[in-house]
Structures are given as C-alpha cells and as structure tokens.
C-alpha cells in the first residue's frame, strides 16, 4: 500500500486546476431572467433559422444569398475563427511531449600535439614515451561519428498550467465562433434594413413624381385663373411655392436612395451594376402582421451569440487565472535522447550501439520582481471584466426583446390606423373624380383629393418600412439566425460557400 501513495499523490496533483470556480461575485449579482416577456403576445417557441423569409419577399431572399456568399466582413470573421482554432492547437500542443528525430554526422580532425595530445605531453606522456611503450601516435587525430536518435522533452503538468491554457484557448475559440455568428446576424440585419429602406424610397420617389405632376396642373389652373382675373396673385404664388417645394423633394429622395443603394453594394461586396440587375423586380412593401413567438427569456442564453460569446470569455478568463496561479509553483520537466551511435556507418542499426541520456529538472520561482503575482492579478482583473460583460449581455438581451416587442405592437397599431386613413382618402378621391366626370364637381377639388391620397400613401409606405424595422429589431434581439445546435454546421456551410468563391477559407 505504501508504494501506491506516490501514485495517488501524482494523480491528485495532476488533477489540480487552480482555476477559480464559477461563483464569482459579479456573476452572483446578475438578476435571474424572468419567466416570460411581459410584452409578448405569443409564448410559442422561437424559430430563428432563416427568419428573414418571414418577410415573404423573393428578391430579399436573393439579396441575402448574395450577401452570405460575398460579404467581406463575414470573410474577416471566418478568418478570425481560423486564427482562434490555430491558437487552440498551439496551446494544446504543450500537454504532449516534444519528439524530434535527428541524424548527426560529426567529424573532427586535428594535430596530435593540440587538445588532448598537448595535455598528455604535460603529464609526461609525449610521443617518445608512448613510442617506447609500443604505442604509435600519429601526427593527426581524426574521427567521424554517426548518430541516429530521437530527442524528447516533456513538462509534467502537475498544477494544470498547460491544461488551463488549453481550456482557455478552447473557450476563446467558441467565443470567436459566436462572434462570427454575431457578425453574420449583424450583416443580415443591416441588409434587411437597407433593403426595406430602398424599397420604401422607390415608392416615395414614385409618389413624389405623381404629386409634382398634380401640383403642375394646379399651378397651370392658378395661372389661368389669374390671367382671367378670377384669382389674385397670392393664390398663384401659393401654387408655385407648393410646386417648388415638391420639386425640391425629388433630389433629396434621389440622394437618400443612392446612399442606401451604396450601403447595400458594400454589404454585397459588389458594384452598382450588380445591384441594379438584382433589384430590378423588387416589389412594393407588403405588411407582415403575423406575431413572432418570442419564447422565454431563458432561451436567449442559447439563441443570442453575443451572450454565448460573453459566457465563453468568462470561462477563458477563469482558466487563464488557473494557468497564471500555476506559475507560482515548481515545474518538473524531463528531457533526453535515445538512439544509435557509431563511428562506422555500417553499424548504424546495430542494437549494441544504442545510447540514451535523461535529464530531470525541477525549477521553482524564487524572485522575479513580483512579475508572477502581477500576472495573476492581471488575469483576475480580466476575469472580473469578462464576468461584468457577461452580466451586461444577459440584462441587455432580455431588455432588448422587451423593447422590440413593444415597438412591434406599436408599429402594428400605427399601420392599422394608416390603412384606414388610406382607404378613406382613396374613397374620397374616387368620389370627387366621379363628381367631376358627371359635371357636378370641380377639377381643383379632385386634384386636391388626389394630392391628399398620395401624401397618405407616402406616409403609409413609410409606416410599412417602420413595421419591417420593428419586426427586424425583434428577430435580431431574439438571436436572429442561429441556434446553438446549428452553430458548427452553419459555420461550415459559410466556409464551403467561400471556398467556391473568391475568398478562400484555408
């Protein structure tokens, strides 16, 4: 039994981690997530995969496909994931022994009266004395040695320094993958928002041209009335001012549209000609009024990639503290070599020519000017920072969903009111048109009603855009595109798409 005590001690020490537990004061101050969202009208399970298809717009679907395959921000995020994977591999290599095969050929040639020969002469064993004893010493000494060996080095990870560094790198890899998903979600959300903006600006541009055409007719009628003495100059100036204001709106809308299209070009990684072809048949905005099942707040811990990234960075910082604490304790390392050695190449593989050497080193820190303790304090401060960031991510996630749910419901109510107003102005315009055609109404009244109808439709189009924005904000707050189970598969899908495009992944 006594012989097993060292083995048990070794196993116990090998299992040491020195990393702090998860019960950090900062994390304990994070409030528990509520059981349900107060503003949610549908408590069903949220389905984040391909959420943009709920807009039921095939042109938008094609735009998203283009962005996923050619966006440069996503290419950079994929490259950062590769870097994190390599850092994990580098950190993990420290837990394995280092093996290095070598082949050496050593040749020496020198005069006998130098080196060891000179030392022999100093003790009275000069060539004459050795010759008298029957030992013939040549004028030069030469020797060629051949060696085939494997060198090895290994540090026994008693205190878990290497293991903790490996675990920290693994957690950082998961966090970087979550960062990629956050970037993916951000790019897709910006794409949808910009697309909705472009579609609305196209509608606004069409309404503005129609309003200008109506105001031109009103100005012409006002001019005719003024020349006939049926109206004063004030009425003519008012008509002209309204026309100029409407005409001045056209360049503003054109500039806004060019800006929005330019932002979409950048997201797609292309140029205007590509975009013009892709958006040639973009439809008018259509309302999407179906409720979005928000699920429960606890689901956000899995759905939101920013929360996942913050959680994993807490883990990485926690293991880094354990690795730095291990620097205070001694290190035991082994190194040596084993192989074959001979002065004749024909004896390279003769088992009798084997050799070995082994060295054990026990190194402990004595004085380093408080460098190790400062590194530990730095790692602990980074752990507290990561824990605070995680707490903020959790609180932000829940509150963003609550805000988005409230905003979506408000946008729905506003849209419903504007639909009613649009129908009223359309009915009024149709009535005044019939009266004019039957000769019981005035043309000016019909033009005014048409102008009111177009202005109301313009406001309604903007409300549809805002309704799309609100729905988009809710999808983004809920975690958007991915779930934890889909993370790796979707990342590989992204890499596969890039491997077939101009952006290599390997």
Q: How far apart are CA 307 and CA 72, in angstroms?
A: 24
φ and ψ of 222, to 5 deg: -65, -40
pTM (2 d.p.) = 0.78
Q: What string of DSSP letters covers 207-224? A: HHHHHHHHHHHHHHHHHH
Crossing angle of the two packed helices 161-227 and 487-499, in degrees rounded to 10: 70
Say whether 130 sits in a helix, a strand or coil: helix
Q: What is the pLDDT of residue 120?
A: 62
Is residue 401 within 8 Å of residue 300, measured between CB atoms? yes
Q: How far apart are CA 183 and CA 218, in angstroms?
A: 51
Is residue 296 within 8 Å of residue 35, measured between CB atoms? yes
Please check the confidence at residue 3 and state whether its pLDDT lies above 50: no
Please check the confidence at residue 213 and state whether its pLDDT lies above 90: yes
Q: How far apart are CA 349 and CA 342, in angstroms?
A: 9
Is residue 78 within 8 Å of residue 496, measured between CB atoms? no
| pLDDT single digits (tens) 173-201 | 999 999 998 888 899 999 999 999 999 99
Q: What is the pLDDT of residue 125?
A: 62
Q: How far apart are CA 445 and CA 217, in angstroms?
A: 12
Q: Which two tokens stand for residue 76?
A: 């950079």
Q: How far apart are CA 146 and CA 346, in angstroms?
A: 10
φ and ψ of 21, to 5 deg: -75, 180
Of 148, 151, 102, 108, the residue nearest 353 (C-alpha): 148
| Average pLDDT over every residue of 431-456 | 89
Domain-wise residue ranges, the chain: 13-97+159-330+377-499
Q: Strands 98-111 and 331-342: what pairing?
A: unpaired
Q: How far apart are CA 37 and CA 402, in angstroms?
A: 6
Q: How far apart are CA 55 and CA 286, in angstroms?
A: 8
Q: What is the pLDDT of residue 89?
A: 87
| pLDDT single digits (tens) 15-73 | 456 878 777 776 777 777 787 788 776 666 777 677 788 888 888 888 888 888 888 88
Angle at 310 between CA 180 and CA 168, to 5 degrees: 90
Q: How far apart are CA 193 and CA 473, in angstroms?
A: 9
pLDDT-derived band at 363 (thresholds 50, 70, 90) equals confident
Q: DSSP character for 441?
A: S
Question: For the domain with range 13-97+159-330+377-499, which CATH number is right: 3.40.50.1820, 3.50.50.60, 1.20.1600.10, 3.40.50.2300?
Answer: 1.20.1600.10
CA R_g for the chain: 39
Burial class (CB within 10 angstroms; exposed 0-12, middle 13-18, buried 19+) of 270: middle
| pLDDT single digits (tens) 252-276 | 999 999 999 889 988 888 776 656 6
Say whether 324 sits in a helix, a strand or coil: helix
């Amino acid at each position: 039994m006594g012989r097993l005590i060292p083995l048990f001690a070794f196993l116990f020490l090998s299992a040491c981690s020195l990393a702090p537990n998860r019960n950090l004061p900062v994390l304990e101050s994070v409030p528990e997530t509520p059981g349900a969202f107060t503003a949610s009208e549908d408590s069903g399970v949220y389905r984040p995969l391909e959420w943009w298809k709920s807009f039921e717009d095939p042109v938008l679907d094609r735009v998203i496909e283009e962005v996923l395959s050619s966006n440069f921000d996503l290419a950079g995020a994929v490259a950062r994931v590769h870097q994190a994977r390599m850092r994990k591999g580098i950190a993990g290599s420290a837990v394995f022994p280092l093996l290095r095969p070598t082949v050496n050929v050593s040749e020496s040639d020198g005069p006998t009266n130098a080196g060891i020969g000179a030392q022999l002469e100093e003790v009275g064993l000069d060539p004459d004395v050795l010759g008298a004893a029957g030992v013939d010493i040549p004028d030069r000494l030469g020797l060629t040695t051949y060696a085939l060996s494997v060198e090895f080095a290994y540090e026994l990870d008693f205190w878990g320094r290497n293991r903790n560094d490996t675990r920290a790198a693994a957690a950082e890899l998961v966090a970087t993958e979550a960062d990629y998903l956050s970037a993916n979600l951000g790019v897709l959300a910006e794409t949808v928002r910009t697309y909705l903006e472009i579609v609305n600006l196209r509608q606004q541009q069409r309404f503005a041209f129609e309003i200008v055409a109506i105001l031109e007719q009103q100005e012409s009628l006002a001019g005719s009335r003024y020349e006939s003495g049926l109206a004063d100059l004030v009425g003519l100036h008012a008509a002209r001012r309204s026309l100029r204001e409407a005409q001045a709106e056209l360049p503003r809308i054109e500039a806004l549209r060019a800006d929005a299209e330019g932002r979409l070009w950048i997201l797609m990684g292309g140029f205007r000609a590509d975009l013009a072809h892709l958006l040639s048949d973009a439809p008018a905005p259509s309302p999407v009024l179906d409720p979005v099942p928000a699920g429960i707040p606890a689901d956000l811990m899995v759905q939101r990639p920013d929360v996942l990234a913050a959680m994993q960075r807490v883990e990485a910082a926690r293991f880094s503290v354990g690795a730095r604490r291990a620097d205070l304790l001694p290190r035991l390392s082994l190194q040596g070599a084993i192989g074959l050695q001979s002065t004749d190449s024909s004896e390279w593989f003769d088992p009798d020519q084997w050799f070995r050497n082994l060295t054990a080193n026990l190194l402990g820190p004595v004085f380093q000017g408080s460098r190790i303790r400062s590194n530990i304090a730095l790692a602990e401060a980074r752990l507290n920072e990561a824990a605070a960031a995680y707490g903020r991510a959790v609180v932000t996630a829940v509150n963003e969903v609550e805000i988005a749910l409230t905003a979506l419901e408000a946008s729905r109510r506003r849209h419903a009111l504007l639909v009613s107003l649009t129908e009223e102005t359309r009915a009024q315009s149709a009535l005044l048109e019939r009266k004019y055609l039957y000769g019981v109404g005035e043309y000016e009244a019909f033009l005014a009603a048409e102008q009111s109808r177009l202005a109301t439709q313009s406001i309604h189009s903007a409300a549809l855009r805002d309704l799309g924005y609100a729905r988009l904000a809710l999808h983004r707050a809920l975690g958007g595109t991915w779930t934890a189970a889909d993370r790796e598969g979707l990342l590989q899908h992204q890499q596969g798409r890039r491997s077939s495009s101009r952006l290599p992944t390997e």
